Amino acid sequence: MYHPSRKTSRMVKFSSQAKYISSISVLPDDLLLVIFQVVADDIYGVDEQLRLDCVALASVCRGWRSLVLSTSRFWMRLHMMTKFGALSREHLERNVMRSANALVDVVIYVAKPPDPWGQTGWSLVFDGAKTCLQVLRECSHRWRSLKIINEKDNHSGLFDFVLSELGLPHAPVLNEVEIICHSSGWITSLQESFQFLSTTYTPSLKMLKWEGCDSNILPGHFDASSLTHLSLNFLRQFSHTPASNSLVTFRNFLSCARNLVSLEVHRRVFLVEHAKTDGEVDPVILPALRTLSVIMGTEKPAYLSSILETIATPNLHHLAVHGDSLAWEEDGLIDFSSPAFFLGQDETPKFPSVCKLTMKNMLQSIHGPGKNMRSIFTAFPNVTEVVLDHDVREIADHLVMESYDEKAPPLWPCLQHLIIEMPPMTKFHYLPQLYEWLRLRRGCGLSLPAVVIRYGLQRAGVKEDARDLIVMRKIVNDATGYRASDTRKVVKQLGKLGALVDLRVESWTE
């Protein structure tokens, strides 16, 4: 039954609280700027849409407009999209003027043209791109970062055109360069290397990322001595010139990169058939390298061994290896005890300083796990954090079997964190082995690692910030289709051991 008194009491309560609610218009400018910055950062997050518009904030009222237009940091990101109707020299010039003398981040998105594309539209887009690039070149002395993105399956020639039209501008404070050519198999082949990357013009370059480009983009005499972060992901499927020894090119490139702190080597940086050496060449020493990531596609294990033989990293902290063992033949499975990988000729670890190890899709194949798995543990004696995926099943089995051997030294004695990233629809078959290993580990007097199990879910409505473990376990069970009671029992047992079990549902990607 409806009671008017209840409505009255709610109105009285609201009116008593209203005095604590202030209009945003009375906030001081400094606080407004903080709020605007958060909104602007969110707007800038989607490169493909390139929504620069702080204009939306400037259109609310006269006071906001004056505040936004007079604050240069809102105009430090200069976006350009090579799309019919989206190119405007005047728009770029206004934003360059509003950025005043601040350092700017340049993003150029090379959009795929409509089909069919008439000659008139072709000319307008190319002419518009040329004039806009001229505006960007004129302020190149203030470039802080440069990002060029080629839309997926865009073979219009615009990508090559943009790179050539950038020319050799003087960018003395340029710190970061990313060139991303999204591809599903076909690539944009460059006629010549990207000569823009020269120490004469970019002396402050620290971070360099190439993804999906033809390997010809790499300048032959590029000086990488200033780089601290490098990510290489080439595609070289089509070439009209005879291929040189690409491993030698890769080696020469790294030979002057002695200040590298982070190195990512993706697929096809060099051809496997070029990886054959006589074994007499000394590796390139990278003394500052702390993180090495090798992400392979369908490349054979020889690709990984060539990378590990090419460089020496005495201070490496994090080693990450991603493979595709389903593509390897039975006689091509990785022998982890081979000197080509993690152990030297004298069985000593090649990476004794590694504290964090990430291994994904390296053990499973239609023929079974890799050879001499125990070498994975003995090669990294000081590891404290390990990140695995579904291969943890093979790891857990091996850990349990080794733990029963009282004469064998404990494996991973310093381990503090075990993170397991499972793909959708994965069963929980490995949890009993994981529990048994932790039980045996505690029985040996070793500390128990914190266990974090993350599942990538393909379900709508799953919140990333879910906190209730009971709800999360139910979501995971529903998503995997595995409702057996022993799943909950095992997780409960892990907790009884004193181990920190964080069964966390997260959206994560490779």
Question: How does pLDDT run across 275-304, given as a tens digit for each residue?
Answer: 555 556 788 999 999 999 999 877 888 889
Reported as a single tens digit per residue, the pLDDT across 101-149 is: 889 989 898 888 776 666 777 788 888 889 999 999 889 899 999 999 8
Q: How confident is the model at residue 453 (pLDDT cuts 50, 70, 90)?
A: confident
Instruction: Give the span between the Cα atoms of 349 and 337, in whole angstroms.
Output: 10
Strand partners, 231: 209, 264
Q: How confident is the model at residue 263 (pLDDT cuts 50, 70, 90)?
A: very high
Reported as a single tens digit per residue, the pLDDT across 381-414 is: 899 999 988 777 778 777 888 778 777 788 888 9
Strand partners, 452: 419, 502
And the tokens for 417?
């964190």
pLDDT at 329: 75
Of 164-173, 189-198, 290-299, 466-475, which gets the smallest average pLDDT?
466-475
pLDDT above 80: residue 461: no
pLDDT above 50: residue 338: yes
pLDDT at 56: 67
Q: How confident is the model at residue 319 (pLDDT cuts 50, 70, 90)?
A: very high
Note the pTM of the prediction, 2 decimals.
0.80
pLDDT above 70: residue 28: yes
3-state secondary structure of 224: coil
First to last CA, the chain: 56
What residues have CB less than 8 Å from 245, skipping those under 6 apart?
Answer: 274
pLDDT above 70: residue 429: no
Instruction: Give the span between the Cα atoms of 327 and 102, in whole angstroms.
Output: 50
Helix axes 431-443, 485-496, angle to 10 degrees: 20
pLDDT at 295: 92
Task: Output phi, psi for 306, to 5 deg.
Answer: -65, -40
Q: How confident is the model at residue 327 (pLDDT cuts 50, 70, 90)?
A: confident
Q: How confident is the model at residue 21 (pLDDT cuts 50, 70, 90)?
A: low
3-state per-residue secondary structure call for 6-19: HHHHHHHHHHHHHC
